[in-house]
Structure 1
């Protein structure tokens, strides 16, 4: 399962975990990806998508029109 948001394009990032003794080690930070079923009113169907938490907030605020446009392009 790839951890990439289809709406915002968020994916993993690399960085350092720094201890109290200032020891650095590389780590991979994953985005907060959630699998959701969303009802598209324009197409009268459910779609399964992987979205970040920010994308879920965007959809709840602006509606599913942006998501529908994105899915029609695929």
Structure 2
């Protein structure tokens, strides 16, 4: 399974690790993904999602159904 948020689509970011001598090496900054069972009120059921923590905060603020609708994601297919 790829490390991509199922709702927001967040994925790894390419960055540089800079040492004390300023030698730069490539590194990946991974997304903080969590496996969660979230209650979807409109569908009246639990939905199992792999979401980033920033998406979880947005879900707490807006609600799962509203956030998925805003992103154009059909939770019935998940």
TM-score bracket, shorter-length normalisation: 0.7 to 0.9
Structure 2: gaps (5+ residues): none
Partners of 2:43 and 2:76 within 8 A in 1: no
Flag the 1:73–1:46 CA change in 2: closer, same or farther, 3 A: closer
- The equivalent of 2:68 in structure 1 is 67
The aligned residue for residue 42 of structure 1 is 42
Whole-Å separation in 1 of the counterparts to 2:68 and 2:48: 11
- 1:52: which partner in 2? 52
Normalising by structure 2, we get a TM-score of 0.83
**CA-CA distance at 1:73 after TM superposition:** 6.3
Structure 1: runs of 5 or more not aligned: none
Counterpart position of 1:21: 21
Q: What is the total number of aligned residue pairs between the two structures?
A: 74
SS of the residue corresponding to residue 7 of structure 2 reads coil
Question: Runs of at least 4 residues of structure 1 off by over 6 A?
Answer: none
- Report deviation, 1:8: 1.3
Q: Give the structure 1 partner of residue 12 of structure 2.
A: 12
